Amino acid sequence: MNEFQREEELLRQGLRRREPRDGFANRVLARLDEPKRSAPVAQASWWSWIMAPAMAAVLIAVLGLGALQYQRVGRERQQRAKAEQALGQFARAMEITASKLELAQTRVFRTRGQQ
Applying CB under 8 A, which of residues 1, 2, 5, 32 lies at the interface with other proteins?
32
Least separation in angstroms between CB 37 and other proteins: 15
Q: Which stretch binds other proteins (CB under 8 A): 3-11, 43-51, 59-67, 88-96?
A: 3-11
Q: What letter would DSSP give residue 15?
A: T
Cβ-count burial 53-87 (b if 16+ within 10 Å, e if not) = eeeeeeeeeeeeeeeeeeeeeeeeeeeeeeeeeee
Can residue 14 be called a binding residue for other proteins (CB under 8 A)? yes
How many CA atoms are closer than 13 Å to the CA of 18, on its beta-carbon side?
5
Q: Is 84 an interacting residue with respect to other proteins (CB under 8 A)?
A: no
Binding site for other proteins (CB under 8 A): 7-8, 10-21, 24-29, 31-32
